[in-house]
A and B are shown apart, each in its own frame.
Chain A
Amino acid sequence: MNPVTRIQSRTVVMANTDIDTDQIIPARYLTTTTREGLGKHLFNDWRYRADGSLNDDFILNKPDSAGCQVLVAGRNFGCGSSREHAPWALIDFGIAAVISSEIADIFRSNALKNGLLPIVVDENTLNWLLDHPYAEVVIDVADSTLTLADGTTVNYPIDRFARYCLLEGIDQLGYLQKRQNEIRQFEENRSWTP
């Protein structure tokens, strides 16, 4: 994983609450065996019309949205299915961070493992962001801060270990493998076997 330290971008805003991972990528596109190329099906059923043409009314299809790396969404983003295809599709499309007032547990965990930043902010900050689409924001990982276009800076919560992995580009599988001795001991010492 490449280190993630700072993101500076305009925001694209989807105010809907409870955006579930079936919307982010519908199940019928989960038949892949690789992580790549899922971006074309990101928000597939909102992004394309029934005949397959682009739905011009959908926010990601608006010319202004091109190049925006930060997605601002209503409360409880990423709920539902555990599919890691959701962060893969967002990243493949070019999204680097998602901001909401609440982000579902499994999505958040999956996002962090792929270098996609899940940023949880208070309602006031979210409302400001919802009211100011395409605002320029700066996300600093080391300081855990989000700076809005009006100069306001807010801190966002992030697990220290997750932050360390992002900053250093650490791969968590490598970290777990270094625990081989402890794992073996655990297996040998437990009072019952599964």
Chain B
Amino acid sequence: MSAIHPRTLYEKVWSEHLVVDETADAPAVLYIDLHLIHEVTTPQAFSLLDQRGLPVRRPDLTLATMDHSTPTTPVRTLKDLQIVGADAAAQVVKMQDNCRQFGIKLLDFDSDQRGIVHVIGPELGATQPGKTIVCGDSHTSTHGAFGALAFGIGTTEVAHVLATQCLLQRKARTLLIEITGDLQKGVTAKDVILATIGQIGVNGGTGHVIEYRGEAISSMDMDARMTICNMSIEAGARAGLIAPDDTTINYLRDRPRAPKNSQWDAAVTRWRKLCSDDGARFDKVVTVNGTALEPMVTFGTNPGMVVPINEPIPRDGDAGFKKAIEYMQITPGKPLSDARVDVVFIGSCTNSRISDLQQAASILEGRKVAEGVRALVVPGSQQIKREAESMGLDRIFEQAGAEWRESGCSMCLGMNGDTVPTGKLSVSTSNRNFEGRQGKGSRTILASPLTAAASAIEGRVADPRPYL
């Protein structure tokens, strides 16, 4: 037998899930190992199944939670949460009904495992190397940090997966992004991915699946790797992958849904083979000099409009630049450090994990949020909330004058009651600075938890490094 040609990690996971291979006339039928669902992008999918009298093929491979329209106001017990708005409440009830009717276990309001869908998958150990994972949410790319092929789908496709556990897919092109060198102090995964998107553009990954590599990636913990893969979609890529290693395996050990005993050993053996072979060909290769990176902040209305924190924003640009500058009400040619901040949001599936909260707390400890600034800290899941509380982080935040909330998407997308008021400027650890993303007329600067915390203290966009 002739030698098999060297394959990328993406090609390995892809080919292992082919039910039917693609041809010129038809896309591949790809098997899905884990389907994550939430309340916002599923009701119409369940209706389709209802109309056709179809069951959910594999409820056991479907994991359901509530996060997007869920309020995060502090309550005594989660059952006391009050949904904001009749439509959102109806949607939540619909989710409960659908899960009951179709036999899907829902991590509901009373579940201590509830949280943002991309936080709980990994936390429960359901996200594993080599799996195919989808969700009606573009930040499904997060799970790629474990070497899973994970991508967002639309609601019609949610129905396809519910009914058949499969999707019709064309194979993507591959993009290798190598982050070289060690990061400097105060430079985090968030800064790396923002700088990368700035370098390749918000459409730089369109049609591609990204694999991230390099010293900077290898030395990151899983929380940081998830931050990187999370924002792959902001470069237009459908998925981002990082090959599993000891860090990945140690993270998954003993998680509730991770394999146990002999199955664990077999899984680890399988996972160890999940990497791109030497000589595997990528369609595109990009190198980012990690050592040279600084804390990054966005200034415009997409994540590619980004600068190192102390550098001036560009003087001039195309029509899109002008429109963004006008919307953001900032001065071209000046650094952002003079911009007065109204709101600081630390949370979202990009930066709401325990190490993100620890980083923010390291700066907020013993300090005060500036007057006139509303600061929200929203843990990604109820588990993270408890863990943070056991470390005393909640006290640090509250003593600094920040709000400590229940878990959920919160201010990331302004559909659950947590919004940035019109015209106000927010420094946010989330992933999208689109016009109105955090509430109608809101202005968003994306940054790392460190930068967000420093900005909360100074009441302006602030470099975190002097605090470290």
Contact = CB atoms under 8 A, between A and B. Distances in A.
Contact of A183 (B19, B422, B432): B19
Contacts of B33: 194
Interface in A1-56: 15-18, 20, 22-23, 26-28, 30-35, 45, 50
Contact of B436 (A22, A76, A83): A22
A183 B30 CA distance: 9
Nearest to B20: A182
Interface residues of B, number: 73
A47 to B, nearest CB: 12
Nearest to B52: A173
Given A30-B415, A173-B160, A176-B160, A35 B203 contact: no
B182 interface: no
Nearest to B46: A33
Interface stretch (A58-66, A90-98, A104-112, A147-155): A104-112
A140 interface: no
A110 B152 CA distance: 11
Contacts of A164: 25
Contacts of A180: 164
Interface in A95-121: 102, 104-106, 109-110, 113-114
Contact of A31 (B26, B87, B164, B422): B87
Contacts of A81: 137-138, 432
Contacts of B69: 31
A186 B48 contact: no
Nearest to A114: B156
B152 A20 contact: no
Contacts of A105: 206-207, 236, 238
Highest count of chain B CB atoms <10 Å: which of A105, A175, A187: A105
Contacts of B159: 173
Interface in B3-50: 19-20, 24-27, 29, 31, 33-34, 40-41, 43-44, 47-48
Interface in B299-327: 302, 318-320, 323
B293 interface: no
Interface stretch (B88-96, B212-220, B363-371): B88-96
A26 B436 contact: yes
A35 B85 CA distance: 19
A33 B90 contact: yes
B434 A23 contact: yes
Given A34-B47, A113-B156, A161 B166 contact: no
A192 B40 contact: no
Contacts, number: 181
Nearest to B203: A76
Given A18-B302, A22-B435, A105-B206, A30 B164 contact: no
Contacts of B154: 82-84, 106, 109-110, 113
A172 B94 contact: no
Interface of B: 19-20, 24-27, 29, 31, 33-34, 40-41, 43-44, 47-48, 52, 54, 57, 61, 68-69, 85, 87-88, 90-91, 94, 128, 131, 136-138, 152-157, 159-160, 163-166, 168, 170, 202-203, 206-207, 233, 236, 238, 266-267, 270, 302, 318-320, 323, 413-415, 422, 432, 434-437, 440-441
Given A22-B436, A31-B88, A82-B153, 18 more contacts: A15-B319, A18-B202, A26-B414, A26-B440, A27-B68, A31-B85, A82-B136, A83-B40, A104-B206, A105-B207, A106-B138, A159-B170, A161-B25, A172-B168, A173-B156, A176-B160, A180-B164, A194-B131
15 contacts: A27-B415, A30-B41, A31-B415, A32-B87, A33-B94, A35-B44, A76-B206, A80-B434, A82-B152, A84-B156, A159-B170, A173-B48, A180-B164, A183-B29, A186-B31
Interface of A: 15-18, 20, 22-23, 26-28, 30-35, 45, 50, 74-76, 79-84, 102, 104-106, 109-110, 113-114, 159-161, 164, 172-173, 175-177, 179-180, 182-183, 186-187, 192, 194
